């Protein structure tokens, strides 16, 4: 079996394309890192990286080897999940992945309902604004993902349902100067100091289009948001203290708005956020079916 340090080294070099940066990223010496790459190539029987003066790039064999490592990760994850379920025989577990937009307004009521109907159920919730929930779903780590799926190119192996379609809203403390010009263009919002979760490629493209769609617009997108965090409570609290614009759904700042700490910024255009649910096809058990049916019953 291939050593874990070798796997880590190969993945790091494929990502950074630099022996020095990759070694720093994994926290090992350049000599040890180089040795791990050599061991990987001996193990694979092929040259995995083309060495260049300005870095290293995967060869065709390296790309295939990296793909096999991903397959190994998937198999290992499914194995660990199966063992964990075996250990917990008799105690059903539902694993939910969601984005920060959905935790209070959508996931919490569902959890409350499930626990009332199935008091023996154990629930694990993973919150992330990136694409990891779908990757974990495919590996069997999650049973259902509730998040923004618009950036995912291939959904053929998943069941999908749209749960909510809501406009993105923008908020700032009442003293923020942008309120004087309201309603404002979306471009004005994105040229200001914006705080939000991580923007995936779909949202980056949408924002770049708002800013003009040229090279300058994409350069600006790379600097957005000014503060990036998946914790909406943290971002809302920060917007109350500084002249920073918070972007998200109204439900996430309802308490701050009621207290007069944040004020919505009217805009001349609208961006919509589609919240979807996903599960693997042909996977079914009582707790998963119950939450899936509950999601289906929600008005979009």
Domain count, the chain: 3
Residue with tokens 């029987």: 45
Distance CA 57, CA 97 (A): 34
- Domain finish residue from 81, 100, 120: 81
Q: Quick one: 138 and 208 in the same domain?
A: no
- Per DSSP, the three-state class of 268 is coil
Distance CA 25, CA 27 (A): 6
Q: Render pLDDT for 143-156 as a digit per residue (tens, 0 to 9).
A: 998 877 655 555 67
Q: Quick one: 148 and 173 in the same domain?
A: no
Q: Quick one: 250 and 287 in the same domain?
A: no
Q: Determine the average pLDDT of the residues in 173-192.
A: 94
Q: Quick one: 161 and 29 in the same domain?
A: no
Distance CA 237, CA 100 (A): 15
For the domain that residue 29 is a member of, what is the CATH number? 1.10.10.10
- pLDDT over 70 at 210, yes or no: yes
Distance CA 181, CA 266 (A): 9
Q: Quick one: 161 and 280 in the same domain?
A: yes
Q: Quick one: 71 and 122 in the same domain?
A: no
Record the pTM: 0.54
Mean pLDDT estimate for the chain: 85
The secondary structure of 134-188 as a DSSP string is: HHHHHHTS-SEEEE--TT-S--TTEEEEEEEEEE-EEEE-TT-GGGGG-SB-HHH
- pLDDT over 70 at 86, yes or no: no
Q: Quick one: 184 and 151 in the same domain?
A: no
Q: How far is CA 222 from CA 69, 129, 169, in A?
A: 30, 17, 21
Name beta bridge partners: 110: none
With CA atoms as reference, report the closest residue to 155 among 297, 279, 288, 20: 279
Determine the pLDDT at residue 129.
66
Confidence of residue 232 (pLDDT cuts 50, 70, 90): confident
Binning the chain into helix, strand and coil, the percentages to the nearest 5 are 50, 20, 30
107 DSSP assignment? I
Q: Which domain holds residue 143?
A: 90-166+274-296
83 DSSP assignment? H
For the domain that residue 151 is a member of, what is the CATH number? 3.40.190.10
Q: Quick one: 281 and 243 in the same domain?
A: no
Q: Render pLDDT for 22-52 as a digit per residue (tens, 0 to 9).
A: 988 888 898 999 999 999 999 999 999 999 8
Distance CA 110, CA 98 (A): 12
Stated as kind and residue range, the H or E segment containing 263 is: strand 263-264
With CA atoms as reference, report the closest residue to 281 among 157, 140, 146, 96: 157
Q: Quick one: 247 and 182 in the same domain?
A: yes
Q: Render pLDDT for 242-263 as a digit per residue (tens, 0 to 9).
A: 999 999 878 888 899 999 999 9
């Amino acid at each position: 079996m291939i050593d874990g340090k070798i796997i880590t080294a190969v993945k790091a070099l494929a990502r950074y394309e630099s022996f020095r940066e990759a070694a720093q990223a994994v926290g090992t010496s350049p000599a040890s890192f180089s040795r791990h790459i050599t061991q990987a190539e001996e193990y694979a029987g092929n040259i995995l990286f083309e060495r260049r003066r300005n870095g290293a790039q995967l060869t065709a064999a390296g790309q295939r080897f990296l793909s096999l490592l991903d397959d190994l990760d998937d198999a290992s994850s499914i194995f660990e999940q199966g063992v964990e379920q075996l250990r917990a025989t008799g105690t059903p577990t539902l694993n939910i992945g969601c984005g920060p937009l959905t935790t209070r307004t959508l996931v919490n009521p569902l959890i409350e309902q499930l626990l009332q109907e199935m008091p023996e159920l154990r629930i694990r919730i993973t919150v992330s604004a990136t694409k990891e929930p779908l990757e974990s779903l495919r590996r069997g780590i999650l049973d259902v993902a509730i998040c923004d799926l618009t950036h995912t190119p291939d959904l053929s192996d998943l069941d999908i349902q749209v749960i909510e379609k809501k406009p993105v809203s923008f908020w700032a403390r009442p003293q923020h100067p942008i309120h004087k010009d309201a309603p404002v263009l979306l471009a004005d919002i994105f040229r200001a100091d914006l705080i939000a979760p991580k923007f995936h490629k779909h949202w980056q493209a949408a924002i770049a289009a708002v800013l003009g769609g040229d090279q300058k617009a994409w350069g600006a997108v790379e600097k957005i948001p000014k503060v990036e965090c998946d914790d909406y409570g943290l971002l809302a609290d920060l917007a109350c203290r500084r002249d920073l614009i918070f972007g998200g759904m109204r439900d996430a700042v309802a308490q701050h708005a009621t207290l007069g700490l944040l004020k919505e910024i009217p805009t001349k255009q609208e961006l919509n956020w589609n919240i979807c649910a996903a599960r693997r096809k042909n996977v079914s058990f009582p707790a998963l079916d119950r939450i899936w049916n509950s999601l289906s019953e929600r008005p979009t």
